[in-house]
Amino acid sequence: MEQSRSRVVVITGGSRGIGRSVAFRFGEEGARIVLAHYDADDSAAQETLDTLNRRGITAEAHKVDVSSFGFVDQWFKEIFKRFERVDVLINNAGITRDTLLMRMNEGDWDAVLGVNLKGVFNCTRAVIRPMIKERRGRIINISSVVGQIGNAGQANYAASKAGVMGLTKTTAREVAGRGITVNGVAPGFIDTEMTAVLSDRVKEEFLRQIPMGRMGTPDEVAEAVYWLCSEAASYITGQIIHVNGGMYM
Ligand code: NAP
């Protein structure tokens, strides 16, 4: 991918955690960043935006519900109007509603599948035609190790993340001849607000499963995402890269 002009990079869930690290990483190359966040309390998004802007990076943050097809479609129309193209899409927004399957209600299921899986479809659907027209593009979908190995108490989340893997490979096959690569990154146990809410017992249980014996950092995930979007990874598509300290091999 030629990088003489600054790339337009859209990152869903870019206000905190992994998405924020990805935004900072792309910011280092001088990319123009568009972030989506969801919470009505936009302090995290604002703080991320301020940090990016202080570093001289052009960035915007928009309140978007990625699970809404219509909203996402409209949002991308605005992005294309303002930036003319999207070079990189990072489908990172994700939520959990953990409980055992026998206690899981329809709302828990629909909410998680809506954001984590349908959200990826919605955003990909919105960029794919323009990317095909440009004959270039990079799409990264953030999955999870539990989409591969399952996890008690996360039927909805694991199903959504396994779905993301299938969606990634299918999208990759459909656009491989059009200069677009589509890959997944499956983090293991990463130190963000998503995992901060877990009990010490659950955290210890996870740590026991990790050969490297520690949580990963958002920056370690961001590096893999960034590299997959670089020219160095031009012949890699339809792959799921695991960033998990050996938790799944
Ligand atoms: P996080 O700190 O909880 O951040 C989640 C992000 O998603 C926030 O920016 C949030 O926006 C955004 N978001 C939530 N619902 C949204 C919606 N409906 N529309 C748009 N944005 C929405 O999570 P994280 O740990 O960085 O996780 C990032 C991704 O990595 C997720 O897909 C997650 O499943 C995956 N992952 C994480 C881990 C881990 O151990 N942390 C492991 C494997 C996979 P607000 O700030 O506005 O709420």
Share of the chain above pLDDT 70, in %: 98
pLDDT at 3 over 70: no
Do you know the residue count of the chain?
249
Contact residues for 65 (Cβ-Cβ < 8 A; gap 6+): 38, 71, 72, 115
pTM of this structure: 0.98
Residue owning tokens 């670089």: 230
- The alpha carbon of 4 and the centre of ligand 1 are apart by a number of angstroms equal to 31
Tens digits of residue pLDDT in 181-206: 999 999 999 999 999 999 999 999 99
pLDDT at 20 over 50: yes
The model's confidence at residue 5, banded by pLDDT at 50, 70 and 90, is confident
Average pLDDT over the chain, rounded to whole? Answer: 96
For the record, the structure tokens of 188 come out as 């293991």
pLDDT at 4 over 80: no
Question: Does 157 participate in catalysis according to the annotation?
Answer: yes
- The alpha carbon of 94 and the centre of ligand 1 are apart by a number of angstroms equal to 4
CA atoms of 127 and 183, how far apart (whole Å): 15
- The alpha carbon of 181 and the centre of ligand 1 are apart by a number of angstroms equal to 23
**Which is nearest to 194 in space by CA: 240, 144, 149, 152?**
144
**Which is nearest to 146 in space by CA: 157, 130, 134, 132?**
157
What residue's CA is closest to ligand 1, atom 44?
A: 144
Q: Which domains does the chain have, with CATH numbers?
A: 3-243 (3.40.50.720)
Which residues line ligand 1 at a C-beta cut-off of 6 Å? Answer: 12-19, 36-39, 44, 64-67, 92-95, 115, 142, 144, 187, 189-190, 192-195
Q: Ligand 1: which of 192, 209, 214 to mutate, most ligand atoms within 8 Å of CB?
A: 192
- The alpha carbon of 14 and the centre of ligand 1 are apart by a number of angstroms equal to 8
CA atoms of 35 and 105, how far apart (whole Å): 31
77 by Cβ neighbours in 10 Å (0-12 / 13-18 / 19+) ranks as: exposed
CA atoms of 20 and 128, how far apart (whole Å): 24
